[in-house]
Amino acid sequence: MERRVASLVKYLLREVEPALRDRSALLCGDLNTGLHYRDELGATFECAEQLAALYEQGWRDAWIERNPRSRPPASWWSPQAKCPYRLDHAILSPASPKAKDVAYRTALDDGTLLTGVGRCSDHAALVVDLRPA
């Protein structure tokens, strides 16, 4: 798994970041990584340094940008360790406007669960409203 994560993040830095840096763009999905002590309780992520490098080049975490004083919610929970992780990200290019809203959802408004055994995913849904804030 770590090799695939490393390949993805390196590809983002090498190919995607230069091509989209000056355009409005959103990288969104399950990256299977995050930043130590922010997207996990400890420091176990592979490729956290590469993800940090993307942010250092001006890319922005849409959830953090909308909620600068809050810890991000978990989007996946380890069944073995019962630990929360935020693996699912919405990352805006430097040229993108701020998103209007970013939220993680584990249930619909009627209470129907979206995650868990027998559900469509074991990850929380990441909902991003791209209309300018």
Q: What is the pLDDT of residues 8-44, one digit of tens each?
A: 778 888 888 888 889 999 999 999 999 999 999 999 9
Per-residue pLDDT, 114: 65
**Distance, CA of 105 to CA of 3 (rounded, Å):** 29
What phi and psi, each to the nearest 5 degrees, are found at residue 100?
Answer: -70, -40
Range 81-105 average pLDDT: 92
Query: What's the pTM value of the predicted model, to 2 decimals?
Result: 0.85
DSSP character string of 13-41 = IIIIHHHHTTS--EEEEE-S---TTTSBS
**Distance, CA of 1 to CA of 12 (rounded, Å):** 17
Ordered domains of the chain (ranges, CATH):
2-98 (3.60.10.10)
Query: Cβ(125)–Cβ(119) under 8 Å?
Result: no
Q: Which phi-psi region, left, alpha or beta, contains residue 71 (left: φ > 0; alpha: ψ -120 to 50)?
A: beta
Helix axes 48-56, 2-11, angle to 10 degrees: 10
Picking from 36, 27, 32, the residue whose alpha carbon sits closest to that of residue 2 is 32
